[in-house]
Structure 1
Amino acid sequence: MLTQVASPFDLLTDDPTERSLMKLKADLLILLTMDYDGGEEGLARFAKDNQITRDEARSVLTGELSALSLDFLATCLFRKGWYLKRQLVSEKQMDMQFTH
């Protein structure tokens, strides 16, 4: 029997908070790895460009979400020139956007 899910993270956990964190980490990983061109030389350059170890770079590039914190991912993005733009829309809503 085929199961329909809204996202692949629905299969990994029933906890909506944990699912939201995984989705956020995955989105940050996409931003962080958009310019990665593959190969071992690419891995070394990716690690150097982001000022992280090769093991950390491998975790990023293989999408090992459990090994990566939001702080770590945000720090890597900030080092690459990204910044977080925030706008208070209303008393109960804030829009946030990473911009390069």
Structure 2
Amino acid sequence: MALEYSNIFDAITEDAAEASELQTRSDLMIAIRDIVNAKGWDQKQAAAAMGITQPRVSDLVNGRIEKFSIDKLMTCLYKIGFRFKPHYENEQLTMDVQIVTDNQRPSAMA
């Protein structure tokens, strides 16, 4: 008998909402790792861009999912230039990804 899962996290929890959250965090971590790799950043450069420490970047790129919330991952994505924009229309939910330019981000100096 073969087990089949549409979400690998269904195998470790019976709570569908928890499995969905784990999958979302995993998807975001993979996307961030791919962006870091595409930009050719080392972990120190990635840390500076995302406003986190180098050990946290190591946790992120090595898939230590338990160390990151969806909120933190979304903040990291924003700091490296991406933002999700959900739209609901005609009973359909879609998600756009917007590129965030430096002039759209608030200045770090206040």
TM-score range relative to shorter protein: 0.7 to 0.9
Matched, 1:75 2:72: no
**Structure 1 portions without partners, runs of 5+:** none
Matched, 1:97 2:75: no
State the partner residue of 1:50: 50
Query: How far does residue 33 in structure 1 lie from its aligned partner after superposition?
Result: 1.4
Query: How far does residue 87 in structure 1 lie from its aligned partner after superposition?
Result: 1.6
More deviation, 26-35/75-84: 26-35
**Structure 2 portions without partners, runs of 5+:** 100-110
User: Identity percentage over the alignment?
Assistant: 25
Partner of 1:95, secondary structure, is strand
Residues 56-90 of structure 1: CA deviation (Å, up to 9, x unaligned): 11121111111101110010111111122222213
Partner of 1:5, secondary structure, is coil
For residue 29 of structure 1, what is the amino acid of its counterpart? M
More deviation, 27-36/53-62: 27-36
Query: How far does residue 52 in structure 1 lie from its aligned partner after superposition?
Result: 0.6
State the partner residue of 1:24: 24
Residues 17-63 of structure 1: CA deviation (Å, up to 9, x unaligned): 001101111121122111334xxx82222212211112211121111
Query: How far does residue 93 in structure 1 lie from its aligned partner after superposition?
Result: 4.3
Q: Within 1, Cα distance between the matches of 2:36 and 2:75? A: 17
